[in-house]
Chains A and B, each alone.
Chain A
Amino acid sequence: MKFLPLIWRNAVRNRLRTFLTLAGIAFLLFVLIFVMTGLSEIQAWEGVAATHRRVVVQHAEGLMAELPIELENFLKGDIISRHAEHVCKFNWFGGYYQDQKNWPPEFAVDPETMRVLFDELSFSDEAYRKFSETKTGALVGIALMKKYDWKVGQRITLIGTFYPVNLELDIVGIFTTKDPRQEEQMFFRWDYLDELLKGRKVVSTYWMKARSDEDIPKLKELIDAHTKNSSAPTETITEKEFAAQFMQMMGNIKAIVAVIGALVLLIMIMMTANTMAMAARERVTEVAVMRTLGFTAGQILGVILAESILVSMLGAALAIGSSLLIFNVVKLSPDPIYFPVFLVAPNTVATAIGAALSCGVMSSLVPAIRSARRKISDGLRQVV
């Protein structure tokens, strides 16, 4: 601690240079936090999805293709019900609220089965009764209610983009869950959507719950075999696979994040190393003087490393502070459709701190060792 004033004064000796280095580190770490948060949000959905035994039936050609309504009878029939229960139609609506900046994730579901299928959602019996009785009813996650300052009983309009209709929904209840991401969602009735679409019976996916883990492969086999030679062949997958597939639409994001992370670290190290090398060159005589006063090579090494770590950590504080403010407090999302929730996770913060620490150490190690090892008499003779 008693060396701190010396370390601090050295760090801010050339204010413009330190500011530029610090700003560069902060910007790069912000980019790292941003892409890592995207990745962790994807992994969070996959993680939540893996905890349920939910199975999704979709068209083999993908989510944009429709499934026939007749398939529901087969899914609810004896063959399948031995392995699964609670079949529910499930359509993503893809509409916005008031402004194209607002994309609450809205899903059309069957009120009869949604409560047991999505049993992690917690809402009152009264709310569920109203949802079952009101064709225009909507159950809304508590976070979404707060986000748009909605109230129970309020009528809201969602402007359709994927479907050529607008929804006029009455909020009949609020739900909570353990996962904050789900609390950003809302559910409305599939039969209301169908009515607006004039009875076209459009089904994007069917969801159901496997009776056991062992039933999942059997369900895949039975359903896909049944539809194989039909006009709408299906692909039956788990909810986790569904989540992973949804995110693959954005490309191999994990590889992109890994490449960006490595590049960020490399550029940070090169930038800080340049600053530290310049600083060390300017201070050859000072280091020699300090060693004449009795500073050991190890102490010199420590002072230079500490200076570099200090600058890197200040950059990290700036990046972490601003990203927490933007994403966790103001709750901005880069893409409200793909990322209705975009929260910087504690492990992302820890990674950013780790990256800054590594940058601080790695960038100054060579100049610090050189300074510490230079002969004092050579250092005193140096004219800078």
Chain B
Amino acid sequence: MSAPVVKVQGVSKIYYRDETPVPVLEAIDLEVAEGDFVALMGPSGSGKSTLLNLIAGIDRASSGRVEVAGSELSALSETALAAFRSRHIGFIFQLYNLIPVLTAYENVELPLLLTPLSRSDREKHVMMALDVVGLADRKDHTPRQLSGGQEQRVAIARAIVTDPTLLLADEPTGDLDKKSEEEVLTLLQRLNKEFKKAIVMVTHDPKAAACAARTVMLEKGALVSKP
């Protein structure tokens, strides 16, 4: 088996509502190997998105270790975490979260602005990413001029444009119609198989989960199965 891209060991996360501790994740252990495609399932409030956020380095664990692409995230400063996300993480949101005032091209280019790439190199990367998601011809459209499925494909292009180590998708088909859902899932499978991207996808939908190589179930903040 290939080296793990994600190594979660004994991770707990506690939120505080006023002063009352609310445990969300308890003693989670999870590994995701290079080229793996993991579906993270569970009922609402089971801690799926929290676990995804911990792996993405946008939230910090209360205890335990989260290691992604060889970096122990709790040891990184906020600035180092930002650099880590920029280099290793591609994040796909349920509601696409494109910047509405930017075109598809500019949205995809956004993560590249943080790199030292020249304008022409950025253009090559952006056009390649838009090509992969089949939207090169819509590069000048703003999000408002795109359908939900197209918006999500642009969001996927934005997630892959920096060639990240890991793709994290939080309910990527949760807001899409059936046809768009199939398109997005096919695209994720292609990214996993063809481009060997490790993917962790949070989903409620068993059909979406079926596209993954394996499924991990979370219930009340604990892993209940780990095939």
A297 in complex: contacting residue of B58, B78, B86, CB < 8 Å: B78
Interface: A249 (CB within 8 A) = no
**CB < 8 Å neighbour of A285 from B50, B59, B97:** B97
> Counting CB contacts under 8 A, is A347 at the interface?
no
Contact partners of B87 in chain A: CB under 8 A:
294
In the complex the two chains form, is B83's CB within 8 Å of A380's CB? no
Which stretch in A2-10, A125-133, A320-328, A329-337 binds the other chain?
A2-10
Residue pair A13, B53 in contact (C-beta under 8 Å): no
B82 near A294 with CB under 8 A, answer yes
A292 to B93, CA, bound (A): 10
Q: If the complex has contacts A293-B114, A294-B111, A376-B59, are A6 and B82 also in contact, measured as CB distance less than 8 A?
A: no
Q: Which B residues touch A50, using CB under 8 A?
A: none
Q: Size class of A's contact patch?
A: 20 to 34
Given A289-B99, A291-B58, are A6 and B110 neighbors across the interface (CB < 8 Å)? yes
Chain B residues near A285 (CB-CB < 8 A):
97
A293 touches B91 (CB 8 A): yes
Beta-carbon nearest neighbor of A292 in chain B:
B91
Contact status of A2 and B113, CB under 8 A, knowing A9-B101, A10-B101: yes
Interface 1/0 per residue, A70-109 and B, CB below 8 Å: 0000000000000000000000000000000000000000
Known contacts A2-B113, A376-B58, A377-B53; is-contact A296 B82 (Cβ 8 Å)? yes
Which residues on the B side are within 8 Å of A376 (C-beta)?
53, 58-59
The answer to whether B59 touches A375, judged by C-beta atoms less than 8 angstroms apart, is yes
Cβ of A375: which chain B residues have Cβ within 8 Å of it? 59
Residue of B nearest to A377 (CB): B59
* A220-270, CB < 8 A from B: none
Contact with A along B2-29 (1 / 0, CB 8 A): 0000000000000000000000000000
* C-alpha gap A286/B158 in the complex (Å): 14
For chains A and B in complex, what number of residue pairs have CB atoms within 8 angstroms? Answer: 70
Contact for A296 among B56, B79, B102, B106, CB less than 8 A: B79
Task: Report A1-26 CB contacts with B as 1/0, cut-off 8 Å.
Answer: 01101100110010000000000000
Question: What is the distance, in angstroms, from B187's C-beta to the closest C-beta of chain A?
Answer: 19
- Whether A296 touches B97, Cβ cut-off 8 Å, given contacts A2-B113, A377-B58, is no
Q: Is B85 an interface residue (CB 8 A)?
A: yes
* Shortest Cβ gap from A383 to chain B (Å): 10
Question: A9 contacts B114, CB within 8 Å?
Answer: no
Selected contact of A292 from candidates B85, B100, B101, B119, CB within 8 Å: B85
| A289:B93 contact, CB within 8 angstroms | yes
Q: Hey, which bits of chain B sit against chain A, CB under 8 A?
A: 50, 53, 56, 58-59, 78-79, 82-83, 85-87, 89, 91, 93, 97, 99-102, 106, 110-111, 113-114, 119, 158
Per CB-CB distance, the 4 closest pairs between chain A and chain B, nearest first, are A294-B86, A9-B101, A376-B58, A296-B82
Some 29 contacts from A to B, beta carbons below 8 A apart, are A2-B119, A3-B113, A6-B99, A6-B102, A9-B106, A10-B101, A285-B97, A286-B97, A289-B93, A290-B99, A290-B110, A291-B58, A291-B85, A292-B56, A292-B58, A292-B89, A293-B111, A293-B158, A294-B86, A295-B114, A296-B79, A296-B82, A297-B82, A298-B79, A299-B114, A376-B53, A376-B58, A376-B59, A377-B53
